[in-house]
Structure 1
């Protein structure tokens, strides 16, 4: 049942934040509109399965908060058009644990004297707070700083923060010195003994390191991996590639069936996380490598029985699409967050056509989604 706008978010109602651009639409209308868009772009004649609905509130397991204001009165949220801070620490999209943690972290900004970064003036240190909650209620907190100057103060006051926030198990500093719209930098300084957050989903538990990607909606991620396993079970592949594998969600779900899986991912942190899961689960036939997905495919001598791709919004692009078209691979499982680029990729693979498709509402109240399609060679 859809809730009224004023029951969902007072920030939207007051015009302070319009990030959830579809919040004014009833939820059933949101799902119907997304389904219609996806079907029109991809294949209107396909017998699309019923969309998977999400909770409208409390689903986001990660908060990406811009820090602004002053040391004594910090704001955690977004910036307005003038570059000033809009405080959204009570944003109802976040999980309950994140909502409870953000006021504690705002107080820590004051205690540790972390000067918020002033974007118009290009002054200050603390740019973002990135907070992730696991299904077990444990937290990872990352401080995105312009320099290492405040690190000693964060270390000094970290024991008090952990006492005030017992769920905090992983804390780190990320250094992003440049003045540009980039969320984080390359260097990470882990401040706690524990370096990974355990993400319990369907199948083996996944591990999330500070610079690893994980879907922001844990419930929908679980649904996504379960469908991937169910949809490919009857295909009985003996070999699978999971390209753009991240922390291994698809690869590890499919490996439960005893199939040999190779996961390829550009992020070393993500590969380390995926390898840890595989080792703990005793999955001897799954391995993960650091590398570019397209380069790996183009450099191979023979295709596997099944290729899984879960690319960023830009899609897999013409090179990998062309390789898949000419490779002879029988099936491709394509998970996409952008049906426009998916449609372009499908046009470059005319021999591989959708035989199954489903929309999962990974991002309620916006025009975004995840769509899973199973492609079969004609």
Structure 2
């Protein structure tokens, strides 16, 4: 992928960009295999090299009259990256109109060095259908009426189905706050993945590479089908991507996730599909530890954050009698640590799925079965 921003030294986030993609993929495969040397590895799943990101997380800088959408330089000033080659081309079409809306509404970008201003970030997400969700991260609700007034500049020109304001008043590196104000009647963006319409609310997590996410869910579903469990738990289920793919085979599925918004989304998709699944808002580890040992599932899917599932849930799985685990990990190092805590659950196969070209980040899908 050619990138003028990289060549000019403006942005170096894609630090492997000058490495041929085939070499990147081989390097990642070697790195994860070194951390999990006893696993039988299948052929890695490659990504498109450009245009693969369904989400643009843009720091807003500059002025209300001339906003920048991109990153901050070393001095905390805005650098415009709205033509980033990683983004789906439909995001390229949207971002200039987002900047027009910022100008029309007179929303002052937040200046990090001075800790002054209102608009911190713009987050735009595109679905396979082309529909868009656009979020504005503000310090306060002061500019909300003006954004509402001028929102038609986006909705008249683009298929923006969800728009919202997130309030993050603190001077912190945390991207967003807990409070969300909807600017549209519609609350969810429908992400069609393998024929399943997953509903995303503004604060819902979804993989940023839709094509590889579809492969990930499909691969996991194939692993589950191969061992044919009657019952499945989907822990850290998010909006239900894994659980809904598995529930499509008519199995008893329980999904657990801390985010109420994500659980509401999973319930909505589940109801639309007529899937017999139960969705629980709560901590995955606490759910497992508090469960009735007489009614553990045959298979557990886990898709934890980078820290992994940790000692408590690993110990529970080791002692539980669960026959199979499908573990989706974005950090092979913590995956390896978790596997060491579960010696009775033996890795049978693993596959690297490249969600994040041009970086060392990776996704690994592993099937474990009880020895």
Q: TM-score range by the shorter chain?
A: over 0.9
Whole-Å Cα distance in 1 between the matches of residues 226 and 136 of structure 2?
45
Name the SS of the counterpart of 2:23 in structure 1.
helix
Q: Which residues of 2 match residues 276-355 of structure 1 at below 5 A?
A: 276-283=268-275, 285-302=276-293, 303-355=296-348
- Please tell me whether the aligned partners of residues 97 and 153 of structure 2 are also in contact (alpha carbons under 8 angstroms): no
Q: How far 1:69 moved relative to its partner?
A: 0.7
> Which residue of structure 2 aligns with residue 161 of structure 1?
154
1:40-189 → structure 2 map (5 Å cutoff)? 40-43=34-37, 45-164=38-157, 166-189=158-181
Q: C-alpha displacement at 1:334, in angstroms?
A: 0.2
- Structure 1 residues 338-367: Cα deviation after superposition (integer angstroms, max 9, x where no partner): 001111111111111210110000001100
Contact 1:339 1:371 in 2 (8 A): yes
Q: TM-score, normalised by structure 2?
A: 0.98
Using the alignment, how far apart are the partners of 2:297 and 2:195 within structure 1?
A: 23
Unmatched segments (≥5 aa) in structure 1: 1-6
- State the SS of the aligned residue for 2:256: strand
**1:113-161 deviations in Å (ceiling 9; x for gaps):** 0100000100000000000000000000000000000001001111233
* Correspondences of 1:151-230 after superposition (within 5 Å): 151-164=144-157, 166-230=158-222
Structure 2 spans left out of the alignment, 5+ residues: none
Displaced runs of 4 or more, over 3 A: none
Counterpart of 1:31?
A: 25
CA contact (8 A) 1:203 1:253 kept: no
Distance (whole Å) between structure 2 residues aligned to residue 63 and residue 354 of structure 1: 35
- SS of 1:287's equivalent in the other structure is strand
* Count of aligned pairs: 369
SS of the aligned residue for 1:362 comes to coil
Residues 203, 256 of structure 1: 8 Å contact kept: no
CA distance, structure 1, for counterparts of residue 67 and residue 183 of structure 2:
23
| C-alpha distance in structure 1 between counterparts of 2:155 and 2:195, whole Å | 30
Query: Is the Cα contact below 8 Å between 1:203 and 1:252 reproduced in 2?
Result: no
